[in-house]
Chain A
Amino acid sequence: MYNFTYHRPRTLAEVAQLLSANEDAKLLAGGQTFIPTLKQRLAQPSDLVDLSGIAELKGIREEGGGLTIGATTTHAEVAGSELVRRLLPALADLAESIGDPQVRNLGTLGGSISNNDPAADYPAGLVGLGATVRTSKREIGAEDFFTGMFETALEEDEIVTAVHFPKPEKAAYAKFPNPASRYAIVGVFVARTGGGVRVAVTGAAPCVFRATELENALAADFSPAALDGVSVPADGLNEDIHASAEYRAHLVKVMAKRAVAAAG
């Protein structure tokens, strides 16, 4: 780790001030990716702006029949929330499946989606549910928010403040974890909403995407059997020592069927 100046502001206004005053400042949420990166000396920020002291970024509340979750809410808080469990149990399940207890106790929703790791779980949940990302500047639809591998629509001085999730009719998340890291090799979030069926896939490609072949099949018949004849193309999917593109394509379908079955 290199030396840096540590700040723990109380308001978003202070954050904005710190970011504009320090060009090489970086934001710290749960730090589950960033702290290891710092420890390995792979990043050298001048200033570290810790968001954990900002009250307005925390919390889970019901809004418009759906849920609004503050950016620095931890995975454990989402997984353990009675409200999430009641309104959006698939999201609680997703949060509960992230990492291990240490990661869930520190890692945050805002940190996870701002990092946009291609194998992270939350991007599938946001895209699958058609969520809206609220930032210090605007609102961004989930599909527009995740733009590429470790890339988002966020501008340099823009901070995620909350995510709003509409309530689906039914939804579930099914993940095939990497045996080593337990990140998703493939994670599929399936939701049936008033606007149609959404199938969002994480882990399989450089960025979360919607599996339109599967969505179309499920729109006609929301059942696992509806996916039997459908195949997911392997083109453009990730290929590494853990899984080939072909295997990932196969797993997308298997996980989608399991998610549909779990959604009931």
Chain B
Amino acid sequence: MVEKGIGAAVPRKEDHRFITGRGRYTDDINLPGQTHAVFVRSPHAHARIRSIAKEGALAVPGVIAVFTGADAQADGLGGLICGWMVKSKDGSDMKAAPHPVLAVDRVRYVGDPVAVVIAETLQQARDGAEALEIDYEELPAVAAVDAAHDGPLVHDEVPNNLIYDWELGDAAAVDEAFARAARVVTQEHIQNRLVPNALEPRAAIGVYDTGTEEFTLYLTSQNPHVHRLVMSAFVAVAPEHKLRVVAPDVGGGFGSKIFIYNEECVVTWASRKIGGRPVKWREERSEAFLCDAHGRDHVTKAELALDEDGNFLALRVTTKANLGAYMSTFSSAVPTYLYATLLAGQYKTPAIHANVKAYYTNTTPVDAYRGAGRPEASFLLETLIDKAARELGMDPAELRRKNFIPKDAFPYQTPVALTYDTGDYEATLDRALELADYEGFPARKAEAAKRGKLRGIGLSCYIEACGIAPSQVAISLGAGVGLWESARIRCTHTGKVQVLTGAHSHGQGHETTFSQLVAERLGVPYEDVEVIHGDTASTPIGMGTYGSRSLAVGGEAIMKACDKIIAKGAKIAAHLLEASEADIEFEAGVYRVKGTDKQKTIQEVIFTAYVPASYPEGVEPGMDESAFFDPPNFTYPAGTYVCEVEVDPDTGTVAIEKFVAVDDFGRVINPMVVEGQVHGGLAQGIGQALLEGAVYDETGQLLTGSYMDYCMPRADDLPSFEVHTSPGTPTATNSMGVKGCGEAGAIGAPAAVINALTDAIGQRVEMPATPERIWRAVRASAMPQAAE
């Protein structure tokens, strides 16, 4: 193995600058002549804008300009788009209503931007925003997805607020299976709405160069090239070749920085309107609560049909998904192609049908948030199976084992469109049960009971799909873009290697992991590799980072580019070594004539490519190769999580006593980075299960608009995790065998926690399982027992 190559737990090279405060985030950038923008937002969930009077704001000292939706429209700016066309089951297109960058005539959620005030200083911009007079006529609003169908119309052109009524699977086969089922288990549940809460709030600086007529946008983005594409092709801020998007260090995204939002379009456009001075905007945390796309928010009914032996016969799912007031960039795909396609889970259920209705409401737009659709599917299945086990009187682990797709059945075609390539679900289950001492649980439960505590254990055998692929299939299902990734390997005279990637790192540790890949494949020292990402001016066009795709898709593009470098180097080495190219072998950074001690290092070969004193005929100088990779399939990480909790029946407080995660991520490049990713995902999954929940009142006001009311997980809410990544089944979808690990924790954890809690208290409570909900459930469970 190469030192610091694949498999080495190399400390992250980016951490030095982050820990020492030398990171460079968008808000750290200050440009000469910079102005400041403040957005004026709707205080109402739904209202008509009767009038906007700019005079007062323009009279405030320091205010340079005020722009409204009418100004943007007059200047030819288009609206924001949803980039995935989902069709209803009757074949009709989804009903995507217009989404102007600044509201025109109507506001549709609290936080909807109505105007931007640009001033010399931030304080003056705030003063100007306060002085802007907007006359609203309040309209009735709808916030809950259950009330959307018969609620006030969010967009007049969308009847019943119904965006689409979509289905997947064979309804007739499901009906037939239910008709002959020995038992049907039914569950209705809520997928709580979550606020993404990246550590770094969103920010943007737009600059227009009046000389070159070029725009530059510094931005908190997970995918700068996608931002550039949408902002040029749809919003018409600038032609694509005249727009440079730079995403410098970005402090977390979790999906929320994938999307193309109003503010970045407006500040870029506004810079030209005010004569080219830079326009800077950085959101407040309270703005982030209102305006960064939220996650989840489903109401679901799920039914599982079983035969008398506990074999799954069919699954029927109906879900209502809340997409908020406008359709965000990928919103349509999340409760459909990233959700219903995962409903087979790890099981050989022969017939599955899902019906998903997506609705507009007067709430913040909802889009992908860590896991995106897959946590919703995994939670549904894993809590429903636990309910079935309780009703059948079976051990939940054994019911799962009985229904697993066996390890010799791969590749396995599910009834919901996906083909799983590899997996060994019993292996991860067995390992997790062993590590969690599942056998010893009854003794721990009895011991807890002596202390007056209710102890429970819960499993979750999740599956996910990473790296949406292949492009052709995704496009045929409505995706507006291809989902390949790109890489360029640029070697320098002195044998150093620059990796330019279309992926983007905002906490994933790409600079480390990608360097390890290159060190391994090219045999150069890890320290000689530099990873460059985030700037459309320097990196090849790429699709960015989300859906745990960076390594499985972006990493493979890097490997392909490395292979091109190696192949070109072989020609040069053959020439230098006076051998036939067929006799050259390459290993660990050295070209060798087979069976001899004649050799050249890759650094010598690279130098020769740039200083071709003696050079093969017909070979171009230079060592600079690009590659694109469009994967043939998703990858399918899977695993088993075991959670053990203890409930204080007097208060309803729950403590997680033990959490074991056994994940099959295929081959692992950097175990330390992977472990960190799993820890973060678990924290977010546990947050969803126990702590986090966005609450709107009936008028559409967000009641959980700050950390006083929205509960983020803290260190003392979490146990010390036991995280294991073996045994693994490498995928054949890429040459590295890697599957992706970024979202697994958030996907698998909620069901494990809720199942443990249900085991402890005897009934499932909705997420977040707050102390009062648990206390009420304990009390309800205790009453019949007391009567016995």
Interface centre among A41, A241, A244, A254 (most CB of B within 10 A): A241
A 108-139 binary contact with B (CB < 8 Å = 1; else 0): 00000000000000000000000000000000
Q: Is A5 an interface residue when CB atoms closer than 8 A count as contact?
A: no
Which residues of chain B come closer than 8 Å to A254, judged between CB atoms? 650-651
B 753-779 binary contact with A (CB < 8 Å = 1; else 0): 000000000000000001110011000
* Cβ-closest chain A residue relative to B691: A179
**Residue contact A180 to B708, C-beta cutoff 8 Å:** yes
**Residue contact A180 to B775, C-beta cutoff 8 Å:** no
Q: Is B711 an interface residue when CB atoms closer than 8 A count as contact?
A: yes
**Residue contact B651 to A176, C-beta cutoff 8 Å:** yes
| Shortest Cβ gap from B654 to chain A (Å) | 10
**Residue contact A41 to B126, C-beta cutoff 8 Å:** yes
**Residue contact B709 to A179, C-beta cutoff 8 Å:** no
**Residue contact A180 to B772, C-beta cutoff 8 Å:** no
**Residue contact B707 to A181, C-beta cutoff 8 Å:** yes
Interface of B is mostly: loop
**Residue contact B711 to A241, C-beta cutoff 8 Å:** no
Q: Is A247 an interface residue when CB atoms closer than 8 A count as contact?
A: yes
**Residue contact A180 to B711, C-beta cutoff 8 Å:** yes
Instruction: Report which of B651, B709, B776 forms a contact with A251, defined as CB distance below 8 A.
Output: B651
**Residue contact A241 to B704, C-beta cutoff 8 Å:** yes
Instruction: Report which of B126, B709, B772 forms a contact with A181, defined as CB distance below 8 A.
Output: B709
| Shortest Cβ gap from B672 to chain A (Å) | 28
Q: Is B610 an interface residue when CB atoms closer than 8 A count as contact?
A: no
- Number of A residues near B (Cβ < 8 Å) is 16
**Residue contact B704 to A247, C-beta cutoff 8 Å:** no
* Cβ-closest chain A residue relative to B690: A179
* Cβ-closest chain B residue relative to A119: B708
Given A243-B772, A247-B772, check contact A180 B651 (CB 8 Å).
Answer: no
The docked-state distance in angstroms from the alpha carbon of A212 to that of B480 is: 67
The docked-state distance in angstroms from the alpha carbon of A176 to that of B648 is: 12
Q: Is B435 an interface residue when CB atoms closer than 8 A count as contact?
A: no
| Shortest Cβ gap from B116 to chain A (Å) | 18
Q: Is B438 an interface residue when CB atoms closer than 8 A count as contact?
A: no
B 627-652 binary contact with A (CB < 8 Å = 1; else 0): 00000000000000000000000110
Q: Is B695 an interface residue when CB atoms closer than 8 A count as contact?
A: yes
Q: Is B703 an interface residue when CB atoms closer than 8 A count as contact?
A: yes
The docked-state distance in angstroms from the alpha carbon of A244 to that of B770 is: 12
Q: Is A250 an interface residue when CB atoms closer than 8 A count as contact?
A: yes
B 710-734 binary contact with A (CB < 8 Å = 1; else 0): 1110000100000000000000000
Which residues of chain A come closer than 8 Å to B651, judged between CB atoms? 176, 251, 254
**Residue contact A179 to B711, C-beta cutoff 8 Å:** yes
**Residue contact A242 to B770, C-beta cutoff 8 Å:** yes
Which residues of chain B come closer than 8 Å to A180, judged between CB atoms? 691, 704, 707-712
* Cβ-closest chain B residue relative to A255: B651
**Residue contact B771 to A244, C-beta cutoff 8 Å:** no
Which residues of chain A come closer than 8 Å to B770, judged between CB atoms? 179, 242
| Shortest Cβ gap from B784 to chain A (Å) | 20
Interface centre among A41, A180, A183, A251 (most CB of B within 10 A): A180
| Shortest Cβ gap from B137 to chain A (Å) | 26
| Shortest Cβ gap from B50 to chain A (Å) | 25
Which residues of chain A come closer than 8 Å to B707, judged between CB atoms? 180-181
The docked-state distance in angstroms from the alpha carbon of A176 to that of B771 is: 10
* Cβ-closest chain B residue relative to A257: B650
The docked-state distance in angstroms from the alpha carbon of A244 to that of B695 is: 15
- Number of B residues near A (Cβ < 8 Å) is 22
Which residues of chain B come closer than 8 Å to A251, judged between CB atoms? 651
- List residues 237-288 of chain B with CB under 8 A from any CB of chain A: 286
The docked-state distance in angstroms from the alpha carbon of A181 to that of B707 is: 6
**Residue contact B695 to A241, C-beta cutoff 8 Å:** yes
A 245-256 binary contact with B (CB < 8 Å = 1; else 0): 001001100100
The docked-state distance in angstroms from the alpha carbon of A242 to that of B123 is: 35
**Residue contact B691 to A181, C-beta cutoff 8 Å:** no
Which residues of chain B come closer than 8 Å to A40, judged between CB atoms? 286
- List residues 108-135 of chain B with CB under 8 A from any CB of chain A: 123, 126, 130
* Cβ-closest chain A residue relative to B695: A241
The docked-state distance in angstroms from the alpha carbon of A176 to that of B770 is: 13
The docked-state distance in angstroms from the alpha carbon of A254 to that of B123 is: 48
Which residues of chain B come closer than 8 Å to A250, judged between CB atoms? 775
* Cβ-closest chain B residue relative to A40: B286
Which residues of chain A come closer than 8 Å to B771, judged between CB atoms? 176, 179
**Residue contact B695 to A181, C-beta cutoff 8 Å:** no
Instruction: Report which of A1, A183, A244 forms a contact with B772, defined as CB distance below 8 A.
Output: A244
**Residue contact B708 to A181, C-beta cutoff 8 Å:** yes
* Cβ-closest chain A residue relative to B717: A179
| Shortest Cβ gap from A101 to chain B (Å) | 13
Which residues of chain A come closer than 8 Å to B691, judged between CB atoms? 179-180
**Residue contact B710 to A247, C-beta cutoff 8 Å:** no
The docked-state distance in angstroms from the alpha carbon of A247 to that of B774 is: 11
The docked-state distance in angstroms from the alpha carbon of A5 to that of B658 is: 54
A 58-100 binary contact with B (CB < 8 Å = 1; else 0): 0000000000000000000000000000000000000000000
Which residues of chain A come closer than 8 Å to B126, judged between CB atoms? 41
| Shortest Cβ gap from B53 to chain A (Å) | 21
Which residues of chain A come closer than 8 Å to B703, judged between CB atoms? 241
Which residues of chain B come closer than 8 Å to A247, judged between CB atoms? 772, 775-776
- List residues 167-183 of chain A with CB under 8 A from any CB of chain B: 176, 179-181, 183
Which residues of chain A come closer than 8 Å to B772, judged between CB atoms? 242-244, 247
| Shortest Cβ gap from B693 to chain A (Å) | 9
Which residues of chain A come closer than 8 Å to B650, judged between CB atoms? 254
Which residues of chain B come closer than 8 Å to A41, judged between CB atoms? 126, 130
**Residue contact B775 to A241, C-beta cutoff 8 Å:** no
Which residues of chain A come closer than 8 Å to B704, judged between CB atoms? 180, 241
The docked-state distance in angstroms from the alpha carbon of A241 to that of B703 is: 8
| Shortest Cβ gap from A208 to chain B (Å) | 20
| Shortest Cβ gap from B778 to chain A (Å) | 11
Interface centre among B130, B286, B710, B772 (most CB of A within 10 A): B772
The docked-state distance in angstroms from the alpha carbon of A46 to that of B667 is: 64
Interface centre among A40, A179, A254 (most CB of B within 10 A): A179
* Cβ-closest chain B residue relative to A243: B772
The docked-state distance in angstroms from the alpha carbon of A183 to that of B650 is: 20
B 317-350 binary contact with A (CB < 8 Å = 1; else 0): 0000000000000000000000000000000000
| Shortest Cβ gap from A38 to chain B (Å) | 12
The docked-state distance in angstroms from the alpha carbon of A242 to that of B708 is: 11
* Cβ-closest chain A residue relative to B709: A180
The docked-state distance in angstroms from the alpha carbon of A11 to that of B126 is: 36
Interface centre among B130, B691, B708 (most CB of A within 10 A): B708
| Shortest Cβ gap from A10 to chain B (Å) | 30
| Shortest Cβ gap from A245 to chain B (Å) | 11
The docked-state distance in angstroms from the alpha carbon of A124 to that of B704 is: 27
| Shortest Cβ gap from A153 to chain B (Å) | 27
The docked-state distance in angstroms from the alpha carbon of A244 to that of B650 is: 15
The docked-state distance in angstroms from the alpha carbon of A211 to that of B770 is: 26
Which residues of chain A come closer than 8 Å to B775, judged between CB atoms? 247, 250
| Shortest Cβ gap from B613 to chain A (Å) | 64
B 294-314 binary contact with A (CB < 8 Å = 1; else 0): 000000000000000000000
**B residues whose Cβ falls under 8 Å from a Cβ of A:** 123, 126, 130, 286, 650-651, 691, 695, 703-704, 707-712, 717, 770-772, 775-776
Closest A-B pairs by Cβ, 10 of them:
A180-B711, A181-B708, A247-B772, A179-B711, A254-B650, A241-B695, A180-B709, A241-B703, A243-B772, A254-B651
Starting from the known contacts A40-B286, A180-B709, A247-B772, 10 additional A-B residue pairs (CB-CB under 8 Å) come to: A176-B651, A180-B691, A180-B704, A180-B708, A181-B709, A241-B695, A241-B709, A243-B772, A254-B650, A254-B651
Query: Can you list 29 A-B pairs, Cβ within 8 angstroms, ordered by A?
Result: A1-B123, A40-B286, A41-B126, A41-B130, A176-B651, A176-B771, A179-B691, A179-B711, A179-B717, A179-B770, A180-B691, A180-B704, A180-B708, A180-B710, A180-B711, A180-B712, A181-B707, A181-B708, A241-B695, A241-B709, A242-B709, A242-B772, A243-B772, A247-B772, A247-B775, A250-B775, A251-B651, A254-B650, A254-B651
**A residues whose Cβ falls under 8 Å from a Cβ of B:** 1, 40-41, 176, 179-181, 183, 241-244, 247, 250-251, 254
